Each structure stands twice: as C-alpha cells, then as structure tokens.
Amino acid sequence: MAAAMIRRAVDSTPDLAEALDHGRLAIGIRVDRRGWVRPVAKVIGDVFREYCTRRHPQKPAPARDPIEILPSQDDFDLEVLQEVPQVDDYGDYPDPPLALPRWSIFHHSPSSGSRHELERLDDALAEDLAAGTGSVFVAAPSEQFPPAFSAALDFELELRPPTGAMVAAAMAECAGQTPAHVLPEELCALLDSLDFCLAGRAATTVDDWTRRLERTALGRIPVPPPVPPPIPPYLPGMPEFVDWAERLRRDLQDYRDGLIAWPEVAGRGVVLVGPPGVGKTQQLITLAARSGIPLISTSHGRWQSAGHQGDMLAAMARTFEDAARQKLCLVFVDELDAFLARGRGGNPSHESYNHQVMNFFLELLDGAAGRTGIIVVGACNFVERLDPALIRPGRMERVIRIGLPDQDVLAQILRYHLGEDVLADADLSGVAALAAGRTGADCELAVRSARGRARAGRRQMELADLEAEFAPPEPLADNRGPALRRLCAVHEAGHAVTAVLLQPGFLVSASISPSVDGGLGGVLYSAPAVDVIGQTEMLALVRILLAGRAAEEIVLGSPSGGAGGDEDSDLGKATFMVARMLANYGFGGQFTWAGRIDAESLPQIFALNSALAKRVEQVLAAQYGSACDLISHYRKAVEAVADLLLARITVSAEDVTMILVAFAPNAANVGGTLQ
C-alpha cells in the first residue's frame, strides 16, 4: 500500500522519475497520517530502484538487504536502503550492471523535534548529500523538515491517502481475491498501515478485511462539537431588571479583563420580588448565558430537604463551595421569604432553629471564606417578610420588583415565545387581552400548547389555536341564588371602581366566577403604577381593600361577612397594612419601629401595645368611612359594573373605565391622609 502511494506521487510530479536515475537528491515526503511514516520509509528505496531499473532494463546488481541503523545515542532514525556494490561483487557477469544510486532515509523518532535535534539531522543529511548519497526525509503532518534541508529540497511530495481501488488491489495481491465492496475515499483517508495489518487476518476473507477497515474508519470520523443554542434575549417588560443585568454583565467582563477589582462589581446581591411565573428564572438563565458564567439554582425547600438542621446547613455550604470552584458563578436562591426573620416570636424551639439557619445564610453571604466571584440573586413574593439584615448593603443590597405584565407586555411576551416566523403578521393584542392577569410562564405554556394543537392537526399554527389557550374555562356549577350572586357582584364592583379611581393602572379584571377553593369571585391587580409608595398610596390601597364591604353597605343596605376571615381577607390585609404604616414605616407621628408585622406576631403586638391597636382601629374606621363616601358618590357606576358582572361573569379594567367615563366623566384621583 505504501509503495502504491509513493508511485502515485512520483508519477504526478514532473521530472522526478528521470531525476531518480542520478540520485544525490534532497527529497522531502509528507504523509497524511503518522502511521504511514515507517512503512513509507521502509519501501521507498525499493520503489526508487524500481523506477531506475524500469528506465534502464539492464541486469541488476546483486540484491542486498537494506541496513537499518536504529536510534541509539542519536535521536533520529536512519535507514541505508541501497549501497553501491563493489566491483568484485559482480562475479562473472559479462556486462557490469547499472550502479543504482544510494539513498539514506530519515524520519523523526518519537522524541525528536527540538531545535538541537533538528540541527543534528541537518548535519547528517548534509554529510550524505556531500558523499553523493541521496537523502529522503519522511515527515508526519505535524512535523517539520530540518530547516536547512527544507531550504535545499529538490522535490517535496505530498503522499495522499490510498484510494479504495488501491486498497482493493493490495488485497487482491495479498490474498488472491478481490473484495466485493470498495471502501469510499473518505474512509480510506482515515486509515494507516497498522489498520491494514490488524484487518488482514489469516483464515478470513478480503470482505472480512474490508468490513474491519470500514468499522475502524467509521470510528474515527470526528464528531462535530455541539452547536451551542442561541442566547435568548431578555423577556420584555422588565426594564429595571435588564438595566441591572446588563450593568452587571459589563462589570463582570471588566473584572475578567483585570480592569476592576471584585468589590467594584455592581449588583453582586439582588432580591427579585414578584409572583411566581413572571419569568425571574428565565431572566437569570439569559443573564448567565450572556455573561458566560454558570448558574446554580437552588431554594430554601431544596436545602431543607437535605434533612435535619445540620444537613440543611451542609447543603447550603456545598452550594457556595460549588460556586466558588467555578471562579465566576451566579447563584439563584428561590423562596427567600421562607427564611423566617429572626425575633419573630412564636415557639422558642422554632425561633432557635430559624435564628441559626438565618445566621449561617448571612455568614455565607458575607463570605467569611471569601465570596469573590459569586453573584447571589434571591427571589420572593413578600419582601416585607425578609430579615432586614438580609437586604443590607454588602449582602442582597438591591430589591427589584417584577409585577404581572400588562396587556402591551403580554403581546410582546407572546411574540417572544412564538418567534418572528410563526403568525408573523398576526395582531396579538386580542390574545393579550384574553390573557389579562396571566404571567410570562402562562404565555410560554399557551404557545407550546397551541403548537401542539397545530401539530396534532397536521397543519400550520393559527391565531385561533392561541386564542383557545386563553379562553375562559368552563365555569364551575354556580349554585348561588340570585341574592348571593348580586351581593358578590356588588362587592367586586366596589373594589374595581375604587381601584380605577384611586390607582389608575392597578386593576386588571374583576370576576364573580366560583373557584375550586370555594371562592365566590375576586379582583386581579397588577403592581401599583407608582415608583414610590408613600402614605397617600398606602391609604388608597387600604380603601380599595375596604371598598367591597363599603359597596355592600351602600348599595345593598348592610354588609356581609365576606370581607373578613383569615389574614388573606380584605380586613386582614387592610389591618396589616395600617399596622405596618404606624409601627414600621413611621407614618402617623410615630417613628419607633415596633417589630415585624405578620399574622403570627400582630396579635401579640396588639396585646402588648393597646395604644397601637386603638390607633390602627381609628385609621381603619376613617378609611372605611372614606370608602363609603366614594361608593356613595359613584354608586351608579358601581351598580352598572355589578350588572355587567352578572351578565358577563368577568369584566376588564377597560370595561370599568368606560362605565366610569359614562357615569362620572369628571372622576379624579382622590387620595388621602391619616385622620
């Protein structure tokens, strides 16, 4: 096989066959795979002699075996493949035979390649050429010819891989059989001489040899590296998050480039506040991909599932150790508000447990063992439940609020998940209106489900597929009588009208549809459309919470117990808000912080601080009176919204706004102050 490869190269090189008669040539030969170096070096002298005798068909000199000088103290290989015979070796030949040129064959040994060794090779090659011996150097693809020899080359040959026909011919010569299947050229290029030796076994057919060679070559086909998925853009509708994320990304690159120190990287600890499904995790995945850093995602629940307290603390430590090994890493801790704040009271054993867990988490954030290179992002639904020490500078020092997307943003999110090619010309505003109150996760699920519906029908996706995903579900059986349905409609209408009046953009929709958890209706809100929530905004939220009960009293003559119940009821939420205003936020003339306000601690605080309890009651009563006045003033609008709820079950903020414009065109924001 090696001889056939050499013959093909000689035949395709102009003037080389004739020049071989004279010898004294410097020839460089490069093979395409290292495994061909020695086989080519062993047969090249015979092939060159073959060309000489073919051109001068005289009786050849007595054959002598090539003498191979193996590397010993020299770090290169030398073979003298043909010596000029002496005169007395001719015997009784009538005519002296052709004196064939001598050739010295060199190639690198496995350990050669240094500059000193290449210079020694140059010296050896020069000596042979000066003595009239031709020199051939055989090199693998990654090897260099000795520099001086390379500059003096007469011919440089590139030995291409054997063809399938050459392989078949070699098999026929060895075994006397021609294989039924000829190897493709691209597979032959992946084989070298050792492969042919291993494949050509005795007592097997040439077709067996071919199959072995094919299997060997297929195993060497390089597998292209996986194409990394395209980095998705950020979800729309979160400008504050994107501003922080892009600034962080630039700082991380500057830190990599040595332009800034780690303490100068901005936003290394952040809390994302918002309801589930708005896209917090997806945004962090995008940030990590755009920054080229790994993301470790965990949660309070995952840490706690490790076992008892010691196991939980060990799991927390492992997360930060794994992040530290990455050099640069983004750690996402979900359910941050499940870390109960210290000093909340309650069961002493629970307080001790929570205290130790929180202290250890704070220690990890402080980086007693070094937090260089670790960005920590937490997520929660209720930032007010977090321990104040958690969100101080140096730890999780920034809070970014992410609310439910409005209709415009919902349309952008739908387009984000659809891509640019699906429903490219469709107006998604109608679907976005159907999706009012939904999250980014709801939109992503709706797009996936709509694609699935189209695939099941073996057709292109249509706008109707997407609309169907947001169609209201079949209503539950409504066994309420007319009086109860009317009461529910008036209650929700009171909330809806007051929300539109006091906090424009706050209301999403109102409904009197029964729910599986026993609810008789409800109002869906987005984040308040203000940057800073002060006393006026808080009082407006309190009045919105109390407006359902006020509407029952004004429109129906007396209130029901629907506004009360547990801490998530209208009265419960309003009480918490007013208590926090007075005891935590410094409104109402009291600046002393009176402790964390939640469902567990508030009854104890009221029991110990009757003055605070009395003051909360006064504020609630005053705001309830204001809510009643507001409902009285806009009673016709409230009744019209209630009638629309009875007819449609669900009304949007736009529906409520249109009714207010019709019944009270001069409606204006009516904030308030503590009374």
Give, as one character, the DSSP assignment of residue 158: E
Backbone phi, psi, residue 380, to 5°: -155, 170
Q: Find, among 557, 547, 555, the residue nearest to 625 by Cα.
A: 547
Give the residue carrying structure tokens 């941050």: 336
- In sequence order, the β-bridge partners of residue 650 are 511
Q: Which of 79, 469, 492, 553 is catalytic?
A: 492
- In sequence order, the β-bridge partners of residue 551 are none
Say if CB 62 and CB 189 are below 8 A apart.
Answer: no
The angle, 0 to 180 degrees and rounded to 10, between the axes of the packed helices 535-556 and 482-502 is 150
Catalytic residue status for 492? yes
Question: How is 63-131 classified by DSSP, letter by letter?
Answer: P-PPEEE--SSSSEEEEEEE-PPPGGGGTT-SSPPP-PPPEEEEEE-TT--SHHHHHHHHHHHHHHHHT
Rg (CA), the chain: 43
Which amino acid is it at 60? P
Residue 528 three-state SS: coil
- Return the HEC string of 590-656: CCCCCCCCCCCCHHHHHHHCHHHHHHHHHHHHHHHHHHHHHHHHCHHHHHHHHHHHHHHCEEEHHHH
The angle, 0 to 180 degrees and rounded to 10, between the axes of the packed helices 635-648 and 535-556 is 80
Q: How far apart are CA 612 and CA 406, in angstroms?
A: 38
Q: Tokens representing 351?
A: 């307080």
The 10 Å CB-count burial string (b at 16+, else e) for 428-465 is beebbebbbbbbbbbbbebbeebbebbeeeeeebeeeb
Residue 182, exposed/middle/buried by CB under 10 A (0-12, 13-18, 19+)? middle
Catalytic residues: 492
